[in-house]
Structure 1
Amino acid sequence: MKAIFKREVKSYFTGMIGYVVIAAIFAFISLYYTANNLVYASPDFATALYSTSLVMLFVLPALSMRSFADERRNKTDQLLLTSPVGIPSIVLGKYFAQLAVFAVPVAAACVMPLILSLFGSVSFLSCYAALFGYFLVGAACIAIGTCISALTENQIISYLATFGALLVCYMINSIQTLFTSGNTMAFIVFCVILAVAAVLVGLLCKNVTAGSAVFCVGAVVLVLLFKLRPAWLLTAFNQGLDALALFDPFIEFVSGMFTLSGVIYYLSVIALFLFLTGQALERRRWN
């Protein structure tokens, strides 16, 4: 794992991706920090961090898109999978390398609350709790992107799929409002989610028929449930959407409510998607 970690970190800084990701994240944090905290003399550093959470949707997919997709495109994944290194070590080595790059601007941002303290009273507990939450949500986004990267050999597809997944997680509250309204748009959103699921099944199975079968069967079940048990369907799906609200626990960190449940949620998301990444690699090893 150590060798893979070193190789991946070096590759990020051999090219431009590592520098661009670090510069983009730190630039936006600095921009909102200057506007919210320095110009208006506000001690609330957490607000500046929350304002930059949208940037993750655009920047972090660029960090994770090449992790496994680039290996498959260059046909070096076979060498990696046949090496004496285990699948967990491969996944963790690549994942920790991405975390190391993301940790650079987060570590640099740790200086900002100290600068604020020179001008007045600052709650360091609130500031650094928000920074910790910011790092956790970024780590979860990277884990999702790593999993998607393991499913394709095209970096552009990996980027767009990761961006789409994170965008859905970011807008989950708006989607929930759409579902609870009970209008016809709710059914359209169900169909879109079903179509995405069918595409993922098709990619995993490398079979268009399998993806089409999932969509057709799912569409029939969806129509029946929507007509016969609409209340049950909407309630059950809203509970599922709560689990997909990736950025909601971060709001608690920003609000000064450091909760253990939020930490456990992000660690669970990271563990789940790294496990799925390992399963995708294990399947490719034997096929």
Structure 2
Amino acid sequence: MTAIFLREFKGYFNSMLGWVLTGVMLLFGGLYFTAVNLQGGYTDLSYTLYSFIIVLLIFVPLLCMRSFAEEKRSRTDQLLLTSPVSIPGIVMGKYLSLLAMFVVPLGVYALYPLLMKALGAANFAASYSGLLAYFFLGAALIAVCMYLSTLTENQIVAALSGFGVLLVCYLMPAIQTLFTAGSSLALVVFAIILGAASLIIGLHSRSLVLGGGVFAVGCIALAVLFSVRSAALTTAFSAVLGALALFEPFLNFVNGLFDVTALVYYAGVAGLFLFLTGQALEKRRWN
């Protein structure tokens, strides 16, 4: 795992990608820090971090696009999967290298509260708790985009799919308000999600009968729930959409609250997609 971590981390800075991405994060961080904290007079760094949080929609997919897609394109993944390193070791080696790349600009951001204190006043507790939440947010987003990179051998496709998924998560609070009109729309969307899930189950199990059976049973359950408790569909669907709003929990830290549940949520998202990444690699190893 250590060898994979060092190879991946050095690889980013042996090319222009690592330098450019780090430079972009430092550029936007410096600009917003100057505008919000130095000129605006805010003593909390969380406001600055939230102001350019949208930059992560571009930074993270570009950072993660080559993690596994490039390995598949160049067929070096076959050497990696047949090496004595375990699947969890491969996943964690690459994941920790991506986290280290993300931590580099965060290390510079950690100096900003000290600069604010030297020039006037700084809220250290709020600033560093916001920085911690920003790290956990980035860790979750990196895990999502790294998993998407295992699904293709084209780096551009991996980057675009990562950007699309993160954009939907970023816009999810606005999307969530569109589904509060009634349960009928929630029923349609749940049926579409059920169809997609059934198709995935059928393809993975190589049994369309199983996929069709799951879809049929799910449709019956949805129909019964719609006829008996239609309002529950809207409530459940709103809860599902709320769980997909990855950027929303960070607002609690901007508002001055140290939300432990938000950190647990980000850790859970990262753990889930790291597990899915491992399963995707395990399937490719056996294939």
Q: TM-score scaled by structure 1?
A: 0.88
Aligned to 1:95: 95
- After superposition, residues 211-226 of structure 1 pair within 5 angstroms as 224=223
Instruction: Give the residue type in structure 2 aligned to 1:68.
Output: F
Q: Deviations over 1:10-29 (max 9, x none)?
A: 11112122112111111111
How far residue 5 of structure 1 moved from its aligned partner, in angstroms, is 0.3
Kept in 1, the 8 Å contact 2:69–2:152? The answer is yes
Q: 3-state DSSP class of the match of 1:171?
A: helix
- After superposition, residues 35-114 of structure 1 pair within 5 angstroms as 35-114=35-114
Q: Deviations over 1:210-261 (max 9, x none)?
A: 9x96998699669847964542221111122222221122111222211221
Aligned to 1:267: 267
Distance across 1 between alignment mates of 2:71 and 2:127 = 39
Distance across 2 between alignment mates of 1:202 and 1:266 = 26
Cα separation, partners in 2 of 1:255 and 1:83, compared to 1, 3 Å: same
Q: Deviations over 1:134-185 (max 9, x none)?
A: 1110111000011111111111121111112111211221122111133987
Kept in 2, the 8 Å contact 1:21–1:60? The answer is no
Distance across 1 between alignment mates of 2:105 and 2:205 = 38
Distance across 1 between alignment mates of 2:123 and 2:134 = 17
Q: Deviations over 1:107-139 (max 9, x none)?
A: 111111111112322110100111111111011
Cα separation, partners in 2 of 1:49 and 1:285, compared to 1, 3 Å: same
Instruction: Give the residue type in structure 2 aligned to 1:93.
Output: G
Stretch moving more, 76-85 or 174-183: 174-183
Distance across 2 between alignment mates of 1:214 and 1:14 = 51
Aligned to 1:133: 133
Instruction: Give the residue type in structure 2 aligned to 1:105.
Output: P
Stretch moving more, 219-228 or 79-88: 219-228
Stretch moving more, 165-174 or 51-60: 165-174
Question: Please, which runs of 5 or more residues in structure 1 have no aligned partner?
Answer: none
Count of aligned residue pairs for this structure pair: 286
Aligned to 1:258: 258
Q: 3-state DSSP class of the match of 2:119?
A: coil
Q: 3-state DSSP class of the match of 1:257?
A: coil
Aligned to 1:5: 5
Kept in 2, the 8 Å contact 1:46–1:126? The answer is yes
Task: Provide the alpha-carbon RMSD of the alignment.
Answer: 2.9
Q: TM-score scaled by structure 2?
A: 0.88
Q: 3-state DSSP class of the match of 1:239?
A: helix
Question: Please, which runs of 5 or more residues in structure 2 have no aligned partner?
Answer: none
Kept in 2, the 8 Å contact 1:178–1:185? The answer is no
Stretch moving more, 112-121 or 84-93: 112-121
Aligned to 2:164: 164
Among all aligned residue pairs of Structure 1 and Structure 2, give the percentage whose two residues are the same amino acid: 47
How far residue 52 of structure 1 moved from its aligned partner, in angstroms, is 1.2
Stretch moving more, 159-168 or 37-46: 37-46
Distance across 2 between alignment mates of 1:59 and 1:278 = 23
